[in-house]
């Protein structure tokens, strides 16, 4: 499943990142790597979401969230 399909308040583990190369490198610099545990804090109506990664909150858009594959922890 993708991160975009996830529900608020649940923790997930990243199993793959399938976005443009530049975006993938930026996400890795922010701590979003395969195997990282993340938690969805809120979801907006337009598809954007706020996630918690290693103690930091990040906002990501629908297109990026749809390119991150996760599984429930």
23-43: average pLDDT: 94
Residue 65 is part of a domain; what is its CATH number? 2.30.30.90
Question: Hey, which residues does 38 pair with through a beta bridge?
Answer: 12, 53
Q: Which secondary-structure segment (H or E) carries 16?
A: strand 11-17
- Residue 25 DSSP symbol: H
The number of distinct structural domains making up the chain is 1
Structural domain boundaries, residue 8: 3-72
Give the pLDDT band (50/70/90) at residue 36.
very high
Mean pLDDT of 18-44: 94
Q: What does the DSSP 8-state code read for residue 47? A: S
Cβ(56)–Cβ(36) below 8 Å: no
Nearest residue to 62 (alpha-carbon basis) of 44, 40, 41: 44
pTM score of the predicted model? 0.89
pLDDT of residue 45: 87
Give the mean pLDDT of 58-73.
95
């Amino acid at each position: 499943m993708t991160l975009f399909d996830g529900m608020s308040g649940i923790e997930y583990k990243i199993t793959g990142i399938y976005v443009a190369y530049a975006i993938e490198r930026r996400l890795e610099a922010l701590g979003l790597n395969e195997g990282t545990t993340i938690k969805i804090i809120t979801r907006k109506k337009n598809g954007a979401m706020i996630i918690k990664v290693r103690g930091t909150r990040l906002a990501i858009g629908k297109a990026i969230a749809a390119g991150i594959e996760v599984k429930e922890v």
